[in-house]
Structure 1
Amino acid sequence: MFDLITNKDSNVKNDVLSGITVALALVPEAVAFAFVAGVEPMVGLYAAFMMGLITSAVGGRPGMISGATGAMAVVMVALVAQHGVQYLFAAVILAGLLQLMFGVFKLGKFIRLVPYPVMLGFVNGLAIVIFLAQLGQFKVLDGLGDHVWMQGETLYLMLGLVALTMAIIFFLPKLTTAVPASLVAIVGVTALVHGLDLEARTVIDFVRDMLPADQKAAATLAGELPSFSIPMVPFSLETLYIVLPTSIILALVGLIESLLTLSLIDEMTDTRGHGNRECLGQGLANTVNGFFGGMGGCAMIGQSMININSGGRGRLSGITAALVLLGFILFAAPLLEMIPLAALVGVMFIVVIGTFEWASFRIIRGINKEDAFVLFLVTAVTVIADLAIAVVVGVIVSALVFAWKHATHINARTHTDDDGWKVYELEGPLFFGSVLHFKDLFDPKNDPQDVVIDFNESRVWDSSGIDAIDGLADKYKVQGKKLHIRHISPECRELMTKAQGYVEMNLNEDPRYHIATDKLD
């Protein structure tokens, strides 16, 4: 794997140069995702500018880049197609407000519940998604207006320029790290293409291919400052009914992708971001997007990796990327339009190589088959469906695997004490998953008059465990016998005390053992 950590300490020069590199790489992504969502290219570019600027300034992870993303764009398609772009802006505002609430109530911490195999699957899945997205740049329009794969000299030129870009990025840091290799590669390949007048596809060619025939000639990335505007939708419950489902999904997808990217960058840079603050930053950015004509977005793992790889560590890198992107839109769109797509594809291919966790192949040989299954499952679902579904599926499957493993880990050692009482020394957690195994450990019919369950090496974790004890106590009561509880923990005592409203338990101190006792009436 290529080393993405070229410099652990942020400085102004690295942040500025890295920001310029990121700004160039943001353009085709923003334009492509705008078309995916069914909106104009400028809506995607405005989103990239506003998301990048606001999250970099007030978010919880310096060095992380946010912008218009495919994960959120696919959620927007149906709303835009059915109700128009103004409803999209309203949905983005509401999604931003929901994300702000996540931050206010400090719910970002729950990203820590994502297991490591799910994180590996997330990283590998996104690397594959980024790679597949770049393959679209190898298609051109035929005479019938259909996208077909490049052939002949066009294909060879594209592959050669991609390879040249990747070679510059890989070998230049071995000679000097004074400037980001990705920036040198983009500028160098652009100069080569136009200096030799090569017939290579450029950014503006990509934009034209996305537009209807009557709009191709006027295609441009030039624009003006985004202006404030309240979405032109009726302020009614009907509007809320229309946009709320989309807003909820946008908010969750955006936060999941952003917080997982934050965790990944934390690990790579050996630093610590702030999840709750990032929720606030993402929420504020999306809310502003809706009022200023942007399609919203979230953290972008590809561009974030470019930033990290280029030495960007501070907030200045993201702010620079956003301002440079705006500068190109306002003053230098022709320079942006002339960049060869091959240069940007080469940069993204390096990102794919650096993002994919190649060590996971070695890890699979050393971990259990359940974790390996979760890793492959999350990777596959990320590629086939989307990130949010993949993470949810991965967490659920991991939780079920965890519950099943611990359900079979409950057992008991038995002995008879000096008074003839049979003692069950319980080991393992008692919760909903282990209840059946717990019940099978006891023999109420053949046990003596007094039976003790010793919880010295066990804990009751939920109401299912309490109900299982209560049901077991009833069985002993039917046999005319008593069930006692020994060495109960303070947490279990509190849980049992709260449960007295719906289970027949009376916890007393047993003077014989100085322990909690289940005294049956």
Structure 2
Amino acid sequence: MKRKFKFSGRYAGYSLQGLQKDLLAGLIVAVITIPLGMAFAIASGVKPEYGIYTSIIGGILIALLGGSKFQIGGPTGAFVPILFGVVMVYGYENLLIAGFLAGIILLLMGIFKFGSLIKFIPKPVTIGFTSGIAVIIFVSQIANFLGLKNVENHETFFSNLKEIIIHIPTINLYSVLTAIICLITILLTPKFAPKIPGPIIGLLLSTVVASLFFPNQVATIGSTFGEIPNTLPNFRIPEITFERIQQMIVPAFIIAVLGSIESLLSAVVADGMTTSKHNSNRELMGQGIANIITPLFGGIPATGAIARTATNIKNGAVSPFSGIFSGLIVLIILMLFAPYASNIPLASMAPILMVVAWNMSERHVFYLLLKTRSSDSLVLVVTFLLTVFVNLTVAVEVGLLLAGLLLIKRMSESVVTVKGLPNPKHKNEKIDANMVSSIHDCPQISIYTIEGPLFFGAAQTFEQTILNAINFKPKVLLLRMGKVPFMDTTGEAYLTSIVKNFSKNGIVLISGINPQPKKLMTNTGLATLIGEDQFFEHTGDAINSALQYLNRDTCLGCKHFAFRECTALSKGTHVIEEK
């Protein structure tokens, strides 16, 4: 009996009609991918064909093994500054090693389920370095746009900007004209022919114009990098040594972090455009495997490309086959038409990258964050400036550190310790800070409401607030901890100090404590020091217990009347059961 083959998982319900849609979407994406792949490779300081190799191998593997049905993988603008820096300092061979190591890091991130941790990277940091990368890419293409001669590439932004300024007299008007034709075509195509990829039309039109009307007057891919081969390179394992691993581990880590951020952002965008739900850990593993294998064929690091993924979905893709088809079509085009690509002017490539930089700059979000004039604005500006004027590695490290420090500062300021008393006008005599005054306060019972996490950034302030406020040595200290969601060992240590200091002459009671702080106090022995019978679920029960510890001689004639029992206690007529 013959069994009918059925697709399952991400391919459930797949049909011939779906295959046709994926093939069309893959074709359109492939046409867009080729100029972008070459452009990103050139901007990264390597030969253009390496970007095509990445689009083929990385694109197929990411689609096949990743966690998003619609993800299109390949070289992206986010990698340009870090890859360019690696090539300038260490060379192309070490770039392959950095990409290989980044792939291993990504694979491990997926295996150990780090996919969900990427969301904890603050938005000002991602917007800051993304905008900085956009500026670097845009400026790096000015020389090709203007056709400047003898411009040397440097690692730093200032040095490259200086090179452009120095060589402005060598401007080539033919290059400018070629670049303008390509730029105008890219900008106008979406308005008049939205379904046709603007970059490929701009590239073809400007190349044809340059070849027909002023041949040999502008630098081309062939004249600068040599002819593009029409085959994939042979499989080759880079020479990996311990010394090289030490050299490249930091760049590899930055590549892995950037790759994970961009790929997961792209997957989230795809989820928003469709009814699908990506698997973030599988996505990282797919990205990792792709980046381990791609360098073995000479490719540069790859990640999920947001714009190409969105184009894939808009053109009807229904499964990962579209990404696989895209890579295969790029391979076919490489084999058939690679020699013709050598005639593409560099001036035609420049506008493509400039438009990419403009689109990825996140200028609207940048402006909104800047307008808040908050700590986020500071993180944004610092990350942006360090990306542009120092390097991406330092920018990400400092941005994350600064964001973390500012978060700790904000959290420490959010911890509030307020003295209060029951308000008889409220239901259940709710504790109210406004009830405490110089003529309405209990000399023997101090009630403090603590709000916010008791952690290392706020614990010392909490301790000082309590100790400074109880110099008059009340008989009972009641701490209301129902609004303390979390306490770390530093917070526990300061609370222990308060308990030990106060217990010499009085009693400490705790009400409404949450499970995590209570468990920590039990594990450290603080709960035993306080006494398990001194913990109460409700403040009212804790107050009733506190009244049992009062010195009734002190209560005689007291006019504060902090509690409803105080009238009788002041007259000496209230009976309290001895504890």
Q: SS state of the match for residue 175, structure 2?
A: helix
State which of 449, 456, 459 in structure 1 corresponds to 2:482.
456
**Aligned equivalents of 2:470, 2:443: Cα separation in 1:** 18
**Aligned equivalents of 1:319, 1:149: Cα separation in 2:** 44
2:352 aligned with 1:347, yes or no? yes
**1:63-462 to 2 correspondences below 5 Å:** 63-67=71-75, 69-74=79-84, 76-77=86-87, 80=90, 85=93, 92-137=99-144, 138=146, 140-142=148-150, 149=167, 151=169, 155-198=172-215, 199-207=217-225, 219-231=226-238, 239=241, 241-246=242-247, 248-265=249-266, 270-271=272-273, 273-290=278-295, 292-299=296-303, 304-305=306-307, 308=310, 311=314, 314=317, 315=320, 318-320=323-325, 322-360=327-365, 362-364=367-369, 366-415=371-420, 420-442=444-466, 443-462=469-488
2:515 aligned with 1:490, yes or no? yes
| Alpha-carbon offset, residue 125 of structure 1 | 1.6
Aligned residue number for residue 466 of structure 1 = 492
**Aligned equivalents of 1:229, 1:260: Cα separation in 2:** 29
2:73 aligned with 1:49, yes or no? no
Question: Structure 1's 26 and 511: CA in aligned 2 closer, same or farther, altered over 3 A?
Answer: closer
Q: Quote the RMSD (CA, aligned, Å).
A: 3.6
Counterpart amino acid of residue 102 in structure 1: M
* Superposed CA offset, 1:135-154 (max 9, x none): 242454459999973657x6
Contact 2:74 2:303 in 1 (8 A): yes
Contact 1:17 1:183 in 2 (8 A): no
Task: Using the TM superposition, name which of 397-406 and 26-35 deviates more.
Answer: 26-35
Question: Structure 1's 45 and 362: CA in aligned 2 closer, same or farther, altered over 3 A?
Answer: closer
* Superposed CA offset, 1:489-511 (max 9, x none): 012112222233x9974551448
Q: SS state of the match for residue 19, structure 1?
A: helix
| Alpha-carbon offset, residue 109 of structure 1 | 1.4
| Alpha-carbon offset, residue 19 of structure 1 | 1.7
* Superposed CA offset, 1:349-408 (max 9, x none): 222222222213541464242111111111122223443432332222112111112212
* Superposed CA offset, 1:277-321 (max 9, x none): 23212211122134x3425413276xx536646856854565455
**Aligned equivalents of 1:65, 1:75: Cα separation in 2:** 22
Q: SS state of the match for residue 417, structure 2?
A: strand
**Aligned equivalents of 2:185, 2:90: Cα separation in 1:** 41
**Aligned equivalents of 1:395, 1:360: Cα separation in 2:** 19
Counterpart amino acid of residue 377 in structure 1: V
| Alpha-carbon offset, residue 460 of structure 1 | 3.5
**Aligned equivalents of 1:17, 1:178: Cα separation in 2:** 9
| Alpha-carbon offset, residue 434 of structure 1 | 0.9
| Alpha-carbon offset, residue 469 of structure 1 | 0.4
Matched residues, number:
479
* Superposed CA offset, 1:175-222 (max 9, x none): 222322222222222222223244232222331xxxxxxxxxxx3211
Contact 1:14 1:179 in 2 (8 A): no
Higher Cα radius of gyration: 2
| Alpha-carbon offset, residue 488 of structure 1 | 0.4
**Aligned equivalents of 2:375, 2:334: Cα separation in 1:** 49
**Aligned equivalents of 1:507, 1:460: Cα separation in 2:** 21
Aligned residue number for residue 33 of structure 1 = 44
**Aligned equivalents of 1:325, 1:384: Cα separation in 2:** 36
* Superposed CA offset, 1:78-114 (max 9, x none): 8956xx93x7656644442332111111112111001
| Alpha-carbon offset, residue 171 of structure 1 | 2.1
| Alpha-carbon offset, residue 347 of structure 1 | 1.7
**Aligned equivalents of 1:25, 1:206: Cα separation in 2:** 18
Question: Structure 1's 456 and 46: CA in aligned 2 closer, same or farther, altered over 3 A?
Answer: same
Question: Structure 1's 11 and 89: CA in aligned 2 closer, same or farther, altered over 3 A?
Answer: closer
Counterpart amino acid of residue 16 in structure 1: L
Counterpart amino acid of residue 109 in structure 2: F
Contact 2:45 2:84 in 1 (8 A): no
Contact 1:411 1:441 in 2 (8 A): no
Aligned residue number for residue 216 of structure 1 = none
Q: Note the residue ranges of structure 2 that are not aligned, 5 or more in a row.
A: 1-20, 154-162, 423-441, 547-579
Question: Structure 1's 245 and 499: CA in aligned 2 closer, same or farther, altered over 3 A?
Answer: farther
* Higher RCO (CA < 8 A, seq sep 6+): 1
Question: Structure 1's 122 and 169: CA in aligned 2 closer, same or farther, altered over 3 A?
Answer: same
| Alpha-carbon offset, residue 118 of structure 1 | 1.8
**Aligned equivalents of 2:448, 2:471: Cα separation in 1:** 15
| TM-score relative to the length of structure 2 | 0.72
* Superposed CA offset, 1:209-258 (max 9, x none): xxxxxxxxxx321153333344456xxxxx3x323334533442222212
Aligned residue number for residue 211 of structure 1 = none
| TM-score relative to the length of structure 1 | 0.80
Task: Using the TM superposition, name which of 390-399 and 488-497 deviates more.
Answer: 390-399
Task: Using the TM superposition, name which of 266-275 and 427-436 deviates more.
Answer: 266-275
Question: Structure 1's 492 and 419: CA in aligned 2 closer, same or farther, altered over 3 A?
Answer: same
Q: Note the residue ranges of structure 1 that are not aligned, 5 or more in a row.
A: 1-9, 208-218, 234-238
Q: SS state of the match for residue 532, structure 2?
A: strand
Task: Using the TM superposition, name which of 464-473 and 43-52 deviates more.
Answer: 43-52
**Aligned equivalents of 1:78, 1:173: Cα separation in 2:** 36
